[in-house]
Structure 1
């Protein structure tokens, strides 16, 4: 019985030590940036989207977790000027054909597994939720001094965004939009 109490006390001390060293680093959403690129047969468009909130979790210097919320209503187009189709494309991206922001104003990303690749680079598998659909994505995340960076592709059709997808609709020719869109994320915490 005495040994059992000693073991229990040791486990509490170890658990308390882990909890005490885990640190949540809040993302500075004003200084962080998400850019996107969507390509089509006849060209491409790019723009930005804002984080609503985010946290990276560290145990000492080791990355242990992360979660983020993106404000889908903030999606903007950078390669077009006002009056030259910018407002129309932004409205279409916010409509049901694409992100349906009236019904789905936020998207989320929740880290599930983290594997160190050395040199402050981690391979992350996370649950990405867009338009109420949650699927895993895998990407590498580079951690710096108060910063983190990644770039990865998302297959929009997996999240119910099928507009002008040649893998869904045949015969759309030059009107086709690539299934994958690219995200580049620069975080400051």
Structure 2
């Protein structure tokens, strides 16, 4: 009897712990006005993102596991004046999406192909995604970056935590990990918001993301 009670207690504790690990999603709002775009900064150096060393990371989960990978940037600009971010625009190349956790080449390519397909990112129609910085608040070195995120045919504003560092004339603009609700950007595949009776075949709507953007000298 004591063993049964102990087992129940352990199960209950585990369930409570799992609930406590629930992901927090970034709130999305209507597209915000960008007061100062990269093109409007006359003396700024544009197209200054080092695309070879800049990337976005992603992680998607489902009841049976998770997958993660990277996406390269196609181009971008980051305007920094007196050590402060003034504006920025990052173009994400969805044709360059990769999966890092699947070692079998055929299985890996199958997943990547599905992510590019019409029922997911629909890369043939929407080959890029975009993040445009609208405003930045600096709180003792920690940045609250508000910008417009465009995925497929949807643009919404989000605010994410990030940092800016500089070394040898190169700026690194790096975000903390944040979670985006893919269903809000018209990515509906295996979402419980749009399909019934999926049982354990659904894919979580929240996608974990982060980015690291480096400038060229």
Q: What TM-score bracket applies, with the shorter chain setting the length?
A: 0.7 to 0.9
Aligned to 1:161: 187
The equivalent position to 2:212 in structure 1, one of 166, 186, 189, is 186
Following superposition, the deviation at residue 22 of structure 1 comes to 5.4
5 Å-filtered alignment, 1:109-148, equals 109-119=131-141, 121-145=142-166, 146-148=171-173
**C-alpha displacement at 1:82, in angstroms?**
3.5
Return 5+ residue gaps in structure 2 as ranges: 1-40
Please tell me whether the aligned partners of residues 47 and 75 of structure 2 are also in contact (alpha carbons under 8 angstroms).
Answer: no
Deviates more, 1:98-107 or 1:166-175: 166-175
What pairs with 1:39-188 in structure 2 (closer than 5 Å)? 39-119=61-141, 121-145=142-166, 146-150=171-175, 151-188=177-214
With normalisation by structure 2, the TM-score equals 0.73
User: 2:49 aligns to what?
Assistant: 27
User: Offset at 1:24?
Assistant: 5.0
Deviations 1:10-50 (A, max 9, x none): xxxxxxxxx67756571101011221101111110011111
Compute the displacement of 1:168 (Å): 2.2
Unmatched tracts of structure 1, length 5 or more = 1-18
Instruction: Give me the TM-score of the superposition, normalised by structure 1.
Output: 0.84
* Aligned length in residues: 170
Higher fraction of strand = 1
The 1-side partners of 2:72 and 2:105 are apart by 23
CA contact (8 A) 1:21 1:59 kept: no
What is residue 16 of structure 1 aligned with on the other side? none
SS of equivalent to 1:171:
coil
